[in-house]
Structure 1
Amino acid sequence: MAERVMSNENPLWIPSEERVQASNLQQFIQHINMQGEAVETYQQLHQWSVADKKKFWLEIWQFCDVIGFCGNCIYGEGIARWQKFLPARDTIWFPQAQLNYAENLLSYAFQKPEGVAIWFKNESGQSKKLTWQQLCDQVSIVQQWLIQNGVIKGDVVAACLPHMPETVVAMLATTSLGAIWASTSPSDDIDDTIARFEQIQPKILFCCNGYSFNGSNHLMEESNSKIVQAIESIENTCQIEYLQQREYSVNFNDTFSDWQSLLSSYLPRGLTYERIGFNDPLFVLFSEIDNAPPRCTAHSVGGTVLNHLKEHQLQCDIQPDDRVLINTECDSMMWNWHVSALASGATLVIYDGYPLYPQPSALWEFIQEAEVTLFATPADYLQALEQKEFSPGNFYALTSLKTLCSTGQMLKAKQFDYIYDQVKPDLHLSVMSGDANILGNFVIGNPTSPVYKGECQGAALGLDIDVIDQSGKSVSLAEGELICRNSFPNQPIGFWHDDGEQYHLAFWNSEDGAWHQGSRAEVTSNGGMRCYGLKS
């Protein structure tokens, strides 16, 4: 049953004028107003972003300093993905553009090579920092190894790894070559991992010897060998000795390449980047479908870069040298969302392990130590903290923390009170819808508008979001189906091994020509939204 909340006209948080003026969003508004617009509020900006989509997405490219060739055509009529042409589905964005994901993520290394790019810690107490220069050096070495193993544009590289620096390095090396990255988290369900990877036929596999979670060690060497035996396309495997073991493992596979040996086998050199088409594939994400193999959804390089820059810099106010911690794993869209923060010059703060182990303060101690500015987490983690009656604000000053993002299921109204009472009163609480289908968010916060109890702040920029009843009419102050009526660059390329029919049936099989994914939502009297998840 969806939680109902009475309208509360008194906001829980209002940004200070100083914070509004210092925000990227306000700078963007000033930027477009200098060109003749007359935008004052987020709502007006959103209306403009939908009404003048060509100018909006071009301004995002320019304002966020995307590296690459943009071309003269912003959007045009593409080939129908299934049967007749649908504008919202088949519009093609930046058809002439060429860019590279890794090149955009590593560009800050030129400005601050000795700054911290990654700050890592896990539940076992291991910790590591990589400067931007060290990150580039490691990416260069792994790039050389991939080239030696024949990886080229369009090849698939898979990883079964925890969220740790080596995963980020391997992904950046892969995408620097124009190859496609697909990752999942290590688990005891090896059949599920094989079911995912056998569909995309990876050439290279990255894996680890094991991992720790909630105080227990999980060995993966036998599972890794089973994956390689089951998937004939894998030509080489690199295993990371992540779990510290003193004894020799009987499942050790001496045919695998070793991560540390790999790093010592090459000298770092200048990175080269293979720029690919805006709409070429970058990531494959997996989702579970009832009574069917896992769904493999391909996402484009250009759509991912442009949308993540928009969401990070404008919606979440991520700025250079900010420190961003996401409570996530490698099989979640939030992992991809996290690593993209490098493109804004932010430090990736990574924690691997059970977030409540060995005590509820585990993440908050790291947030304080690393001076995290943005922390994102699934809503159920915040609910678990409240149930354990843990109050982070009583133990840590959290001076640097300015934004807390809640993802996944809708944050319950009482958790809003918990956050502002027990975490920090001056905090931008951004409730995000977390839509893996678009590798982004239909509904998200912004740093210049008030936060109301039980509400998301509103629709993301550039997206023509609507809530409709069963007859297809727009409704407010009542629950309905959330849809998107317009085209946007980060729509998925489609499903792996699909001629377009399954993609159409999943999101476009309606007479109104809009995106439908079965999500339920409500427009509030404050102009915000309440998201109720997928309809049953």
Structure 2
Amino acid sequence: MTTTPTPLWQPDEKRLNEGQPAAFRARAEQLAGTPLTDYRDLHRWSVTEPEAFWNLVWDFCELRGHKGERVLAPSPVFRHNRWFPDARINMAENLLPRHDTHTALVSIDEGGRRDQISYNDLHVAAGQVAAQLQAASVEPGDRVAGYMPNRIETVIAALGCAWIGAIWSSCSPDFGVEGVLDRFGQIEPKVLFACDGYQYNGKWIELDERIQALHEKLQPELLIVIPGRGDTSAVRQALNWRDWLAAAGAPPAFAELPFDHPLYILYSSGTTGAPKCIVHGTGGALIQHAKEHRLHGDLGADDVLFYFTTCGWMMWNWLVSGLQTGATLVLYDGNPAYPDATRLFDVIDAEKITHFGTSAKFVQAVEKAGAVPRDSHDLSTLRTLYSTGSPLLHESYDFLYEKVKPDLLVSSISGGTDIISCFALGSPLVPVYRGELQCLGLGLDVAVYNDDGEPVVGEKGELVCRAPFPACPVAFWNDPDEERFHGAYFDRFENVWAHGDYAEIVPHDGHDGLVIHGRSDAVLNPGGVRIGTAEIYRQVETLEEIREAIVVGQQYDGDVRVVLFVVPAEGIELTDELRKKIRTTIRAGASPRHVPAVILTVPEIPRTVSGKIVELAVRDVVHGREVRNRNALANPDALAHFADRPELA
């Protein structure tokens, strides 16, 4: 007999009847001509009447531009459907919705330096970038790249680029030269923006040599360097940011662009080969982000949005789109746990943040540090906490409600670089349950398929999207026959987007929740039974003795055995007694099939620059296979700890 779980958070009457999500549901009811009594009704209407839904999103979110008459030019091929085919739109115009002294951006670094800019001044600065790019003969479709930390100038450069219809692409400055070339080298940028240094973990990291090397290899027509300290940079042949802006003429008119005009190029992690260059369109990113900020996050003009991200992660693009609401965005550059684990909670109080975004790993780190933000900080302005990057552990939900804030709307979100947005996320209209993403994204026909391509509920399977959606990528760069594009998403199920997540839909009264059990390409298969890696991490990472872990499946004796690598906490050794405790914890919390056959220690776990652990790369090393793109890793030398282990022979 199954028991109904108790919600950790329930929407009150004010949440249900006030705010943007409630107002949108009321407008949708008028269009539907029938009551939409709960979130499931609203979601069902949004996917059965997609043209009415997305048309309403455009109007409700007050997108600027010429919408045109048609919402959809349909095609029998999923990826060839065209949304708003007659529209003309500009991202920069939509992200500069107000012209006043209201603060648009606040930039903070780990050392405490703080800068801010108003919407009026942001509009002026972005217009200066647009004017200078146009004067340099940058045209719509040309690529402009940023090798930049997360600061105000990065947003200004991206807005100026979008203003004239050029394509923006960025990498975090913690990428090495080869990692940047793996990305920017494919798209051949005409202009490169760079900062000559950044702060991390109490140190200033100089970038002059890297920028010089990138300039020589990429040979952009323009190199503009933003000095990180002082007013000048030592990079040869570079234009100074301030001088370059000061020489700008009058800003051009916003370029009126098709809905699917390329806006951003983002990159896959690249751990199994050269990174895929994923091209996202102007309208798709804009309307999807506006929907998520307003209808799922209830973000408004008086709110303050923060997300800890680098400029090499799609959450930076998502964060910047928060400007469309007229809210204030807070940018942070540096180590989020410097000088201690509560640093970002200081920022919440200082900046009166209402919507705070971070990673599941950060939440775990705060918990393991023994911090109790509820006692040490005010947090009175904080309403919503977003988490992504990996599944938020059940125990992390408990920590957030017990030790951070009891009335917090915890929105675990999941999607990714491929769609520059979310397939499942939160909503103030539905309860929060332990271990679950609250709901499926509006307008997205999300389902879970079993191996036979049949939709299942309450069972694990492949996360899919069964119908076209505006944030589907426009293309992959240099993929003229769409072979790589098709192979990435449509090889498994005909004309259905397969996302690569191993997931489970959990039905509730009035809505469906979602649990992510890990990446489907990293699923373990001992004895022919599929096991999600997240189920093991959930158990291991609750142990105080373990700082972090990574699990892979090893081909062994005609089967697959589960191998767990752990990084013990400081001063802890992996003894037989601790191994027994790990196995007992996994057996009790998951199942006997989840129990690892082998448990080994390593000093560190390899990660991508955006912080994600790389199970596939470790699996290759364990099997003696070459890892094809080590440049995608922040710490590629860590792979050596997994090679030639006699315990795995």
When normalised by structure 1's length, the TM-score is 0.93
Counterpart of 1:305 in 2: which secondary structure?
A: helix
Contact conserved, 1:89 with 1:508, CA < 8 A, in 2? no
CA contact (8 A) 1:8 1:452 kept: no
Which of residues 384, 399, 409 in structure 1 aligns to 2:390? 409
The reply on whether 1:15 has 2:11 as its aligned counterpart is yes
**Is the CA contact 2:305–2:322 (under 8 Å) kept in the aligned structure 1?**
yes
Alignment map for 1:211-222 (pairs within 5 Å): 211-222=198-209
> Which residue in 1 is equivalent to 2:152?
165
CA distance in 2, matches of 1:173, 1:428: 35
CA distance in structure 1 between the aligned counterparts of 2:121 and 2:87, rounded to whole angstroms: 30
Query: Comparing 194-203 with 139-148, which one deviates more in the overlay?
Result: 139-148
1:238 aligned residue: 224
CA distance in 1: counterparts of 2:9 and 2:141, whole angstroms: 46
Q: Distance in 1 between matches of 2:175 and 2:12?
A: 48
The correspondence for 1:532, drawn from 517, 524, 541, is 517
Q: 2-side partners of 1:60 and 1:307: how far apart?
A: 9
Per-residue CA deviations over 1:352-389 (Å, capped at 9, x if unaligned) read 11000011121111111111010111110001000101
Q: Does 1:424 align with 2:405?
A: yes
Distance in 2 of aligned mates of 1:303 and 1:225: 35
- In the TM superposition, 1:472-511 aligns within 5 A as 472-498=453-479, 499-511=481-493
The answer on 1:262 being equivalent to 2:244 is yes
1:95–1:218 CA distance, 2 compared to 1 (3 A) = same
CA contact (8 A) 1:158 1:181 kept: yes
Q: CA deviation at 1:226?
A: 0.6
Whether 1:516 and 2:513 are equivalent positions in the alignment is: no
Matched ranges for 1:353-368 at <5 A: 353-368=334-349
Letter in 1 for 2:255: E
Distance 1:188-1:493 versus aligned 2 partners, 3 A rule: closer
Q: Is the 8 A contact 2:172 2:311 kept in 1?
A: yes
Q: What are the superposed Cα offsets for residues 317-365 of structure 1, whole Å, 9 maximum, x if unpaired?
A: 1111210000000000000000000001111111111000011121111
Distance (Å, rounded) in 2 between the aligned partners of 1:533 and 1:492: 23
1:39 aligns with 2:36: yes
C-alpha distance in 2, partners of 1:137/1:31? 36
The equivalences for 1:163-202 within 5 A come to: 163-187=150-174, 189-202=176-189
Name 2:48's counterpart in structure 1: 51
Q: Report the 3-state secondary structure (helix = DSSP H, G, I; strand = E; otherwise coil) of the residue aligned with 1:528.
A: strand
Of structures 1 and 2, the larger Rg is shown by 2
Structure 1 distance, partners of 2:235, 2:432, is 53
Contact 1:377 1:406 in 2 (8 A): yes
Query: TM-score w.r.t. structure 2 length?
Result: 0.77
User: What is the alpha-carbon distance in structure 1 between the residues aligned to residue 415 and residue 445 of structure 2?
Assistant: 17
Letter in 2 for 1:107: P
- TM-superposed CA distance for 1:511, in Å, is 4.2
Identify if the C-alpha distance between structure 1 residues 432 and 151 changes in structure 2 by more than 3 Å, giving closer, same or farther.
same
- How far the C-alpha of 1:193 sits from its partner, in A, is 0.2
2:191 corresponds in structure 1 to 204
* Structure 1: distance between partners of 2:332 and 2:500: 32
1:509 to partner: Cα distance? 1.2
Q: Closer, same or farther in 2 for the Cα pair 1:7/1:65, shift >3 Å?
A: farther
Give the aligned residue type for 1:454: G
Displacement, 1:532? 1.8
Q: In 2, distance between residues paired with 1:212 and 1:58?
A: 44
User: C-alpha displacement at 1:525, in angstroms?
Assistant: 3.9
Shift in Å, 1:38: 1.8
8 Å Cα contact 2:176/2:210 also seen in 1: no
**Shift in Å, 1:270:** 5.5
For 1:75, the aligned partner's letter is L
The higher relative CO (CA closer than 8 Å, separation ≥ 6) is in: 1
- Contact 1:71/1:96 (<8 A) preserved: yes
Instruction: Give the distance between the partners of 1:13 and 1:302, measured in 2 at CA.
Output: 34
Is 2:69 aligned against 1:72? yes
- In 2, Cα distance between the equivalents of 1:92 and 1:450? 35
CA distance in 2, matches of 1:511, 1:9: 33
Are residues 294 and 511 of structure 1, via their aligned partners in 2, closer, same or farther at CA, if it must alter by over 3 Å? closer
> Does residue 356 of structure 2 align to residue 375 of structure 1?
yes
In structure 2, distance between residues paired with 1:456 and 1:490: 20
Contact 1:212–1:243, Cα closer than 8 Å, also in 2: no
Distance 1:368 1:263 in 2: 34
Structure 2 Cα separation of the partners of residues 272 and 139 of structure 1: 12
Structure 1 segment 290-369 matched on structure 2, within 5 A: 290-369=271-350
Please report how far the alpha carbon of residue 105 of structure 1 lies from its aligned counterpart in structure 2 after TM superposition: 0.3
Read off the aligned partner of 2:18 and give its amino acid letter: A
CA distance in 2, matches of 1:132, 1:484: 37
Count of matched residue positions in the alignment of Structure 1 and Structure 2 = 515
Identify the range of structure 1 (511-520 vs 402-411) with the bigger mean alpha-carbon deviation. Answer: 511-520
Q: In the alignment, is residue 118 of structure 1 matched against residue 105 of structure 2? A: yes
User: One-letter code of the match for 1:531?
Assistant: I
Does residue 108 of the first structure (1) align with residue 98 of the second (2)?
yes
Q: Match of 2:116, SS?
A: strand
- Alpha-carbon offset, residue 271 of structure 1: 5.6
Structure 1 residue 291 displacement after superposition: 4.4
| More divergent stretch after superposition (252-261 vs 123-132) | 252-261
The offset of 1:275, in angstroms, is: 1.3
Ranges in structure 2 where 5+ consecutive residues have no aligned partner: 523-649
Name the stretch that deviates more: 369-378 or 388-397: 388-397
Using the TM superposition, name which of 469-478 and 24-33 deviates more: 469-478
Task: Report % sequence identity.
Answer: 35
Native 8 Å contact 2:98 2:120 kept in 1: no
In the aligned structure 1, how far is the partner of 2:209 from the partner of 2:3? 55
SS of equivalent to 1:368 = helix
Deviations 1:396-450 (A, max 9, x none): 1211111101111010000000000111111111110132100000111111110
Q: Secondary structure at the match of 2:58?
A: helix
1:395 paired residue number: 376
In structure 2, distance between residues paired with 1:148 and 1:354:
38
CA distance in structure 1 between the aligned counterparts of 2:466 and 2:324, rounded to whole angstroms: 29
Q: Deviations over 1:467-497 (max 9, x none)?
A: 1211222222221111110000110011100
C-alpha distance in 2, partners of 1:105/1:493?
Answer: 21
Q: CA deviation at 1:163?
A: 0.5
CA separation of 1:189/1:426 partners in 2, compared to 1, >3 Å: closer, same or farther?
Answer: same
Look up the equivalent residue of 1:97 and give its one-letter code: A
| Shift in Å, 1:107 | 1.4
Q: 1:188 to 1:343 in 2, by over 3 A?
A: closer
Q: Distance in 2 between matches of 1:270 and 1:108?
A: 17
- The amino acid of 2:42's aligned partner reads L
Deviation at 1:292, TM superposition (A): 2.1
Question: Paired residue for 1:25?
Answer: 21
Measured in 2, the distance between the counterparts of 1:55 and 1:386 equals: 44
Letter in 1 for 2:96: L
